[in-house]
Amino acid sequence: MLGSKSTKKQQPLSDGPVIQFDHVNKIYDGTTEDHALVDASFSINKGEFVFIVGPSGSGKSTIIRLIQKEIQPSSGNIFVAGRDLSKLKNNQVSLYRRSLGIVFQDFRLLPDRNVYENVAFAQQVIETPKSRIPKEVSKMLTLVGLSNKFRSLPTEMSGGEQQRVALARALVNNPMILLADEPTGNLDPQNSWDIMNLLDEVNKRGTTVVVVTHNSEIVDRMQKRVISVLDGHIIEDKKGGYVLG
């Protein structure tokens, strides 16, 4: 069987960029002059690690929501793994989203389920065979350093631990792209570093990682590609540190 036990393979990638924005504009319904995103064009290759930085309200989460196809662009095109998101039919969207893992500032764990159940839930949703779930959940909880906390409830854990559970949940279905929207926004510096180091590790294992953050110290130290957004405009896109105050 070619050594692979996985029955759910990721979609094959095209040779092109894994994420491509082509002159994307976004004006939210009910707003007129305020462009949340203005003529945004960039592409992210398979295996890249990219920070998106900028002040509050500059359009960072809009970029993440557009990639998830949670919202639609007002004009322009977005391609993910070579597929034009505007051409995805409604019944293809949930399958498309399985190729994305996502973590948020506020963790969004199920409060009445323990750590194991929170991660396993992501696999149950996509109908992973029951026999595979324990092994894959364990593997992910070990990766994030929580193999001894299976039975803990989110309310019994620190913010840093909760975010590691959220990360395990985002990764358990082996996404092609990991999106993180201010994943360290609620964490102290040590936990923030732990999460960023895990994201770096995940990236080194081949996942494309896109991280929205305000944390200029981390961005400066990690020396990754940085896309800087201000008032909906991409004002800078280069390797290195944080350019916006």
- Binding residues (CB under 6 A) for ligand ADP: these are 28, 31, 34, 36, 54, 56-62
Name the residue nearer to ligand ADP (CB basis): 62 or 184.
Answer: 62
Nearer to ligand ADP (CB atom), residue 100 or residue 234:
234
Specify the residue, 62 or 68, whose C-beta has the smaller distance to ligand ADP: 62
Q: Pick the binder of Mg ion from 61, 114, 128, 208 (CB under 5 A).
A: 61
Helix runs in 69-204, H state only? 90-97, 115-125, 133-143, 159-171, 189-204
The CA distance from 15 to 7, in Å, is 23
Closest approach, Cβ 2 to Mg ion, in A, equals 42
Tell me the two tokens of residue 161. 């631990």
- Please say which residue, 13 or 230, places its beta carbon nearer to ligand ADP: 230
State in angstroms the smallest separation of the CB of 81 from ligand ADP.
23
Kindly tell me the sign of the dihedral angle through the C-alpha atoms of 103, 221, 17, 202: negative
Closer by beta carbon to ligand ADP, 15 or else 33: 33
76 touches which of ligand ADP, Mg ion, none (CB within 5 to 8 A by kind)?
none
* Shortest distance (Å) from residue 226 CB to ligand ADP: 14
Query: By rule CB under 5 A, what string of x and - marks binding of each residue 104-143 to Mg ion?
Result: ----------------------------------------
Residue 60 is given by DSSP the state H
- Of 104 and 193, CB closest to ligand ADP: 104
Listed residue (43, 46, 50, 48) closest to 12, CA to CA: 46
- Distance of closest approach, residue 197 Cβ to ligand ADP, in angstroms: 24
Which one, of 47, 170, 99, lies nearest residue 88 by Cα?
Answer: 99
Packing angle of the helix pair 159-171, 115-125 (nearest 10 deg): 20
Q: Is 213 in the site for Mg ion (CB under 5 A)?
A: no
For the packed helices 133-143 and 159-171, what is the interaxial angle rounded to 10 degrees?
A: 130
For residue 224, what are the β-bridge partners? 240
Compute the least distance from the CB of residue 129 to ligand ADP, in Å: 38
- What is the DSSP-derived secondary structure letter of residue 7? S
State the minimum distance, in angstroms, from the CB of residue 31 to ligand ADP: 5
Sheet holding 83-84, edge to edge: 37-44, 19-26, 75-80, 83-84
Smallest distance from the beta carbon of 24 to ligand ADP, in angstroms? 12
The count of chain residues that interact with Mg ion, using the rule CB under 5 A, is: 1
CA 12 to chain centre: 19
| Residue 66 DSSP SS3 | helix
Binding site for Mg ion (CB under 5 A): 61
